[in-house]
Amino acid sequence: MQAILIGFMGSGKTTVGRLLATELETHHADLDELIVKRAGKTISTIFEERGEAYFRQLEQQTLRDAIAQPGILSTGGGTPTIAANAAILKASPVPVICLTASDQTILGRVAQDTGRPLVDELGTQGLMALKQKRAALYRAAADILITTDNLTPAQIVAEIKARILQPVHRVAANG
């Protein structure tokens, strides 16, 4: 992998990951999509039939496989909040980029989407409590934090490119 995107549901991981991969002319993988492929079921069906704990097992196995592949990986909102997954991310040399956004922005985005079992289960207040509870875990897992509220996907991608390419420029300038 060249970069891994983490962040709460609705933070833009998939949209930004796809665009970043296009601009870097590399492959994009979305962890949720890989899980759906692996299970042959939607995320909602996995939660419904087997529960969240089973989903987390699948998520961890899929993360282990995906992290070894080239390209950009967009994770699920819960991925880095599980200790074993956080350890997998920390052990990888790939930059971990956390996209953050205000409660208002997140709610505006996830309200329009379907297929997120936790959104249906927790409701607005529960979801925002979960976001707050997870914030420190995202920060701990991230190498780079980007606040996306007033940025377009293209602007976010430009910011990520500048930040992940920066050390290379510095080395080149010095050497």
The tokens 């549901």 sit on which residue? 9
Q: How far is the CB of 172 from ligand S3P (least distance, A)?
A: 35
C-alpha 73/C-alpha 160 separation (Å) is 14
Which of 3, 6, 9, 101 binds ligand S3P (CB under 6 A)? It is 9
Q: What is the CA radius of gyration of the chain?
A: 16
Q: Is 134 annotated as a binding residue?
A: yes
- Which of 76, 106, 148, 156 contacts ligand S3P by CB under 6 A? 76
E strand or H helix at 164, and its extent? helix 153-174
Rounded to the nearest angstrom, the gap between the alpha carbon of residue 73 and the centroid of all alpha carbons in its chain is: 8
Stretch that binds ligand S3P, among 21-29, 73-81, 96-104, 162-170 (CB under 6 A): 73-81
Q: With contacts defined by CB under 6 A, name the span among 110-118, 137-145, 148-156, 158-166 that binds ligand S3P.
A: 110-118
Q: Which is nearer to ligand S3P, 3 or 32 (CB)?
A: 32
What are 23's two structure tokens?
């601009």
Q: Compute the C-alpha angle 6/72/98, nearest 5°.
A: 20
Residues in contact with ligand S3P by CB under 6 A are: 9, 13, 32, 43, 76-78, 116-118
